[in-house]
Amino acid sequence: MSNTATLIKRNDGFASNFSAAELPILPKLRTVILTCADARVDPAFTLGIELGEAVVIRNNGGRVTQEVLHEIAALVFLAAKLDGAELGPFELIIIQHTQCGAERFADPTLQAALKDKIGVDVSSIAITNHEESLKDDVEYLRNAPEIPGYVVVSGLIYDVKNGTIQKVVAPAALEL
């Protein structure tokens, strides 16, 4: 059986007890979580995020790229439109993690091979120091005119060896 077939079978169970039809489009917690695509760091498990509570964006490393920035900007804009006059608070939580594949991207040999063989440049998402990467990503958001200043941003590191979370950047509005 293919993995698709196996997972669709699991969905049968999910759909047979479905009770989420009335969930609104806006996430209940008015929160976007940006984290790594790594299979070990799913926020539904690590943070107990339930259906309808938060928007989750995942990419290699949980890094703020230009694309991610535009996605977040569009979501915040849409939320503001749907919420009407009431702007914010809207929270963005960036979670990177230990033993991340993006740390391997910091290896110059691997970086060169990726560029050479498949034309992909990973230099901007490579992680050599988690705290620095998180601070850089928050700074990138802070300097982005597309993201309104009332958005509250925090930066966390999840430890894949014991499930704990370390706070690196405390939650604060981009424009204080």
CA 174/CA 44 separation, integer angstroms: 26
Instruction: Give the tokens for residue 36.
Output: 């790594």
- State the nearest-atom distance from the C-beta of 62 to Zn ion, in Å: 7
Selected binder of Zn ion within 34, 36, 54, 93 (CB under 5 A): 36
> Per the omega criterion (within 30 degrees of 0), is the bond before 43 cis?
no
- State the nearest-atom distance from the C-beta of 127 to Zn ion, in Å: 8
Question: What residues have CB less than 8 Å from 35, skipping those under 6 apart?
Answer: 41, 43, 56, 57, 58, 62, 94, 95, 96, 97, 158
Nearer to Zn ion, 36 or 147 (CB): 36
Ranges within 85-104 binding Zn ion (CB under 5 A):
100-101
Nearer to Zn ion, 72 or 100 (CB): 100
Selected binder of Zn ion within 32, 38, 47, 95 (CB under 5 A): 38
Nearer to Zn ion, 38 or 91 (CB): 38
DSSP state of 88: -
Nearer to Zn ion, 36 or 54 (CB): 36
Give 122's strand partners: none
Q: What is the contact surface with Zn ion in residues (CB under 5 A)?
A: 36, 38, 100-101
